[in-house]
Amino acid sequence: MGSKVLSAPGAVLVSLLVVIAGFFTTSTESIVLSLAAVALCSVDFRVRARLGATIRLLVLSSCLLVLIAAARVIGGATAAAVIDSSVAKLALFARIIFAGQVLLAIVRPKEYLHFLDAIRMPRDLTYVVLSALTLFDYVGAVGRRQLRFLWLKGLTGGTLAKRTRAYARISGPLVSVLLRRQLLHVRSLEYRGFFDADLSPSETQGNKPPMGQTVSLLALLWSALRSAAIWI
């Protein structure tokens, strides 16, 4: 999860652009404008670290779309129709990928907490969403650490059976560590009143962020959802 936080004026401006683009333009223009807005947002808030991941996802999507399109043309489908549908899908994927990566880069778990609190999300759900988001990176880190131990012991190479056994070796400790850690975490939150009815979850976690963050978060989520709705 990234550590950059949005500053209010720029964030509100960019978010409003995304929202206005969606309401007052046709679907294609909306997508182009939203992409431009999200790209601007990325530059503005220095989230270039996510650029590599975004490009990899886009290249993967493009390759698979080209593969499927080519196969359908070989199989007898009309080329023009296949190309049109592939370009439309790529635009949709690009928009969701950009929105998702920008979200991950600019918003910290604490901001998600305030956002979920603001939309009155049930606190159990708030907890599992937030902990899944934060644990995701943790699982990757623990997994990579365990893999490094295996690699140092020379257990990561060789046949498929050998690699599968190596995988089985690390999964047991990984799950036990995660369960123990998470139970401790959920209990500590319980003691701090996170699940209590009289206290809002964000009140247990400190000050609220500027309004701009919540607006941007809403706009980016809206952008991703609307793009999906347009194409379905």
Report the C-alpha gap between 131 and 226 in whole angstroms. 26
Window of 12-20, 39-47, 184-192, 203-211 that interacts with other proteins by CB under 8 A: 184-192
CB contact at 8 A, 147 and 170: yes
Query: From residue 1 to residue 30, what is the string marking binding to other proteins with x (rule CB under 8 A)?
Result: ------------------------------
Report the C-alpha gap between 16 and 37 in whole angstroms. 9
Query: Side chain identity at 165, as an amino acid letter?
Result: R
Query: From residue 61 to residue 80, what is the string marking binding to other proteins with x (rule CB under 8 A)?
Result: x--xx-xx-xxx-xxxx---
Window of 29-37, 41-49, 54-62, 211-219 that interacts with other proteins by CB under 8 A: 54-62
The pair of structure tokens assigned to 144 is: 């990579």
Report the C-alpha gap between 101 and 164 in whole angstroms. 31
Q: Is 158 left (phi over 0), alpha (psi -120 to 50) or beta?
A: left
Contacts with other proteins by CB under 8 A: the residue count is 65
Instruction: Tell me which of 18, 96, 116, 217 binds other proteins, using CB under 8 A.
Output: 96
Question: DSSP class of residue 47?
Answer: -
CB contact at 8 A, 33 and 21: yes
Query: From residue 113 to residue 152, what is the string marking binding to other proteins with x (rule CB under 8 A)?
Result: -----------x--xxx-xxx-xxxxxx--xx--x-----
User: What's the gap between Cα 147 and its chain centre?
Assistant: 24
User: What's the gap between Cα 215 and its chain centre?
Assistant: 17
Name the residue nearer to other proteins (CB basis): 29 or 124. Answer: 124
- The residues that touch other proteins, with contacts defined as CB under 8 A, are 57, 60-61, 64-65, 67-68, 70-72, 74-77, 85-86, 89, 92-93, 96-97, 100-101, 103-104, 124, 127-129, 131-133, 135-140, 143-144, 147, 156, 160, 163-164, 166-168, 170-173, 175-176, 178-179, 182-183, 185-187, 190, 224, 228, 232
